[in-house]
Structure 1
Amino acid sequence: MVFNDFTVKEELLKILPLKKRTRGEDIYNIFKTNAAEIGLPLKKLSAITTDAASTMKGRTNGFAAVCKKDECFPNLMSHHFIHQEALCAKILPFGHVMDIVTSIINIIRAAPFQHRLFKTLLEDYDYKMKNSRSHLASRSPMAQQSSLEPVASLFVNPITIRHEATETATTTARIISSEVGNHELEIVDLKNDIILQAHATDVDFWKLVEKDRFPLLRSVAYKIKSCFRSTYLCESLFSTMNNIKSKNRSRLTDSHLESSLRAGTSACVPKMEALVDEIQCKKSH
């Protein structure tokens, strides 16, 4: 969530258990029901980030697709990330490679003499690499630019842009292009403001932009900043859940699990003294 002063807060909102089916429509229904219960303003939602499961990223019946069909949701962007490392470990057979690497390491570490020879080889290789780096540093900038031409052509040629990137860019343009005329007027005023231009490269630039003078530009800045957040909280939730749901605690209720995850991942520091004062102490009889 992005606040008026452009500070960002990331916290666990709710864990929604699915007891039966896990279709995109089922996820959408339970999400919208709980959003109405807690009073979540869906109109302020700017982006949806999910994993690459078909129930999430399906073009027709996926969770993000069903949300975009609903008029209660604004023009939002959807991003689906995939754990490439996990796929590589499952698909690519690396057993024969690791066996060879392990045997080579065992041979090198078996005798001190072989270990010293290997260290000498690494030092000689490092010396050659230093010479190569100094040679590359002495090359002219034009030679370096010519070597980057194939890479630059990927960005210049619009045909190479993938469909997902095109869809994301189109959604971003649709968000920004609403009330284009008013946006252009605010952009002109922003460019003519000498004080703001002096701080144009500052990280906290948008904190200096007045809300009364540039409401539309600040609204766009809120949406764009909220899209580029980390997935650390989501990943840490699964790690914490694996530690909580051990073999000795396999019969946790949904509410107990949610409370444990909230306490384990929240950045808020509990006020222990206030919590203790609210509890009535047992008096001896």
Structure 2
Amino acid sequence: MKDSSLSSAVETPSGKGAGDENFPVGSWLLPPALRPHIARYYAFARTIDDIADNPDLPAAEKIRRLDGFAEALSTGQGGPDYAKALALRASMIETGVPFRHGTDLTIAFKQDAIQGRYRDWEDLMGYCNNSAAPVGRYLIDLHGEGRHCYVASDALCNALQVLNHLQDCQKDYRALDRVYLPEPWLIEAGGSIADLDGPASTPALRQVIDRCLDHTAELVRRARPLPDQFRSRRFAMEAAFIWRIADRLLIELSRRDPVATRVQLSKGQFAAAGLWGVALVLRTPRPSAPPKG
């Protein structure tokens, strides 16, 4: 799914697109009328993520540009350099989705510009609450589902974020000197950040990866009820599809070494996850209305 807006002078396109993500972006499972809005949200998120991940931009310049996107989204002031923020603003006004689901992303990516290490799991979850959870909340509000769904959605989005961090742990370290694995955990295990630069995980690094996977497994468990909470059958199928992807990635990362090789689902596994999600929802009744409050 692509946005038609041209790149501006403040953008630093990486060439990544929806096909590079772990999860389906605005797939055919979702209502066709909502897909253009999702495309605008993804274009905004991809653009600001690329700015944060650009190794050639100084931190202060990254923050200036990210602040510009947040300002354009919040106020409508920004001009053509911030066209993707202005397009998302128009979409959010039309659909009634809060701006914060976009501006929270800029908070996370500004953090990426200045913070390359994490103390513990809570520190990492604080980052994920701005970098990942807003995506699920955006989709929930766009579909008119209840905010009671936020809890399970946050768990799923944050789990996917950590799984992505584990997949890219060596690349993030080498390209950006950014390590999402809690550094004190590595030290406790008798390792160091330099372990990420080797041809394969050291025993200490593997211990930390497994510790992250244990915490992520709990997030995936908490996310399991999410598809059952949605009134929209299409949205429930998408959620079940994504949940299954997270569950399968969790298994693959527990079996394989993300330092020695790129760990990802095969096309067959990805398709099977989609079929599993569709089948699950077809046999599950939809709730008639969200609970009050």
TM surpasses 0.5: no
RCO higher in structure (CA 8 A, sep ≥6): 1
Greater helix content: 2
Tell me the TM-score range normalised by the shorter chain: under 0.3
Which entry has the higher C-alpha Rg, 1 or 2? Answer: 1
Q: Under a length normalisation based on structure 1, what TM-score does the superposition of the two structures give?
A: 0.27
Q: Under a length normalisation based on structure 2, what TM-score does the superposition of the two structures give?
A: 0.27
